[in-house]
Chain A
Amino acid sequence: MRHLLSAADLDRDTAVHVLDVAEQMAATQRREIKKLPTLRGRTVVNLFFEDSTRTRISFEAAAKRLSADVINFSAKGSSVSKGESLKDTALTLEAMGADAVVVRHSASGAPHRLAHAGWIRGAVVNAGDGTHEHPTQALLDAFTLRRHLVGADGASRGRDLAGKRVAIVGDVLHSRVARSNVLLLGRLGAEVTLVAPPTLLPVGVDGWPCTTSYDLDAVLAGRTSGPLDAVMMLRVQAERMNAAYFPSAREYSRRYGLDARRLALLPEHTIVMHPGPMNRGLEISAEAADSPRSTIVEQVSNGVAVRMAVLYLLLSGESVSGGNP
């Protein structure tokens, strides 16, 4: 693995290997001393052109727990606001000796450009690009699913998500999380159903390895493909909506929001996920978000372990940046 740009880059065995490494990383995070010397002397740059709480902090924590040096860059307050291009920013980072660049950008494909344009020699990790992909989120969702549905700690080593049913509900059109999850969970053997109003399903969704539905109640009750093992709610991304995709927030919430009534339709073991940040009261009610079957907070802590695994796999091994001491 040289870069992590898309969940599609991961075949089944690689993905399972990442999850296994993440399991070991999670074990180190339960120790008294959480810091490991593994990536000492390497530099990880967090290059964030878009706002983020969870992902940036999670990558920062992951890099620091592995003793890498972390440089945080956000577009606000940098020369980007003076009009500096992605290329010049990248050349600056290269001159400073970045071993890995974690990039979030509002333009789909920006991480791909960064990785393949020859501007930098370090590894590139996609931390969300436009409405394209967010592979580490998909990995942490898969990790959370595997811990709950297959087995925690050593029990799930080497195993995938074969036969598990996952519904991804909400603003699929603008969701890079949904796209990465459909690709990754499909590759791990899970059956994914996308549930959204027709206006919020992307063109060409027929070609994705999943089924689609417009009827949330039918899917939750297991009337379409069978009982669900997990429901993943997506945030309604109002900031990306340049047209009226649904008549009103109230109507969206009535038809596609997860509330206490819908929660009761689910089988006993089904977990409720949300990548965050949540719009409480819109796509998910407080009862659902705070219920014991919600894994929303756990997803955040799993995110650190998964990102530690990704950084470890990208940055250990034979040096490619030429900065060997």
Chain B
Amino acid sequence: MEAGDIRRALTRIAHEVLERNRGSADLVVLGIPTRGVTLARRLAARLREIEDAEIPVGSLDVTMHRDDLRRQPTRALAVTELPPGGVDDKVVVLVDDVLYSGRTIRAALDALSEFGRPRAVRLAVLVDRGHRDLPIRADHVGKNLPTAHTERVRVRLSETDGADSVVIENPVVETVAPQAAQAAQAAQAAPVQDRTEAGES
């Protein structure tokens, strides 16, 4: 996906959200750090343009509710910032960049329940790459990207990464000799970063 595709996808999602909600009443947009927050801000701006109404936007850090804390190195915590109106009896739209196993969203639902009881929670994602571990489905999807388990989806946004793009990165084939694998890795244009940094879910 290029910048234009991302922009059009967000505009469509904004219209879908408003159509589903029959307007912007009681909407609260919450992004899941880090790139979900950026997308949430963009989505809220889009909603504002369409409806000419102020849409509360915030961020929801799910780190402390994850179920894989003990399987990975310690994760840094991000900021949780709820809009002043809270989430009680609101329609919360969770925004994330990539929907993959569904575990992040499970953690987000748990985290959200600590702040109150929304009337409804909807999920908007830029990319749905399949391979769900949990019975979770997005309400609004920017693009369905069929991927293999071994591939990685990288989302870059201009606010944090300089430019807008979504790319599928091919994995290094493990059967190849180590030297060849290194060469293959080096041949890949994009530098491979930490998984969480790469905005993969």
**A interface vs B, CB < 8 Å?**
17, 20-21, 24-25, 27-28, 31-33, 36-38, 66, 154, 312-313, 316-319, 324
Contact = CB atoms under 8 A, between A and B. Distances in A.
Contacts of B110: 37
Contacts of B78: 24
A312 B77 CA distance: 10
Interface of B: 61, 64-65, 69-80, 110, 114-116
Contact of B64 (A17, A20, A28): A28
Q: Which of B65, B70, B75: most chain A CB closer than 10 A?
A: B70
A31 B72 contact: no
Contacts of A27: 79-80
A324 B71 CA distance: 9
Contacts of A316: 69-70, 74-75
A32 B112 CA distance: 12
B71 A318 contact: yes
Contact of B74 (A24, A33, A313): A313
Contacts of B73: 317-318
A37 B79 contact: no
12 contacts: A24-B80, A27-B80, A31-B115, A32-B115, A36-B65, A37-B64, A312-B64, A312-B74, A312-B77, A313-B74, A316-B69, A318-B71
A66 B70 CA distance: 14
Contacts of B64: 28, 36-38, 66, 312
Given A24-B79, A31-B114, A317 B65 contact: no
Contacts of B75: 316-317
A182 B7 CA distance: 53
Nearest to A66: B64
A36 B110 CA distance: 10
B72 A37 contact: no
Contact of A24 (B77, B114, B115): B77
B13 to A, nearest CB: 28
B114 A33 contact: yes
Given A28-B64, A313-B74, 16 more contacts: A17-B76, A20-B77, A24-B80, A28-B80, A31-B115, A32-B114, A32-B116, A36-B64, A37-B65, A38-B65, A154-B79, A316-B69, A316-B75, A317-B69, A317-B70, A317-B75
Nearest to B69: A316
B85 to A, nearest CB: 15
Contacts of A17: 76
A324 B70 contact: yes
Contacts, number: 53
A82 B65 CA distance: 43
The 3 closest A-B pairs by CB, nearest first: A317-B74, A38-B64, A24-B77
A318 B70 CA distance: 5
A99 to B, nearest CB: 10
A38 B69 contact: yes
Nearest to B107: A37
B185 to A, nearest CB: 24
B72 A318 contact: yes
Nearest to A22: B77
A273 B69 CA distance: 36
A22 B71 CA distance: 22
B122 to A, nearest CB: 22
Contacts of A32: 114-116
A21 B70 contact: no
A324 B73 CA distance: 14
Nearest to B113: A33
A318 B64 CA distance: 15
Nearest to B70: A319
Contacts of A36: 64-65, 114
Nearest to A321: B70
B106 to A, nearest CB: 12
Q: Which of B73, B74, B115, B116: most chain A CB closer than 10 A?
A: B74
Nearest to A153: B79
A324 B70 CA distance: 8
Contacts of B70: 316-319, 324
A28 B60 CA distance: 12
B22 to A, nearest CB: 30
A33 B79 CA distance: 17
Contacts of A25: 77
A317 B115 contact: no
A316 to B, nearest CB: 4
A318 B128 CA distance: 28
B124 to A, nearest CB: 25
A33 B69 CA distance: 21
Nearest to A313: B74
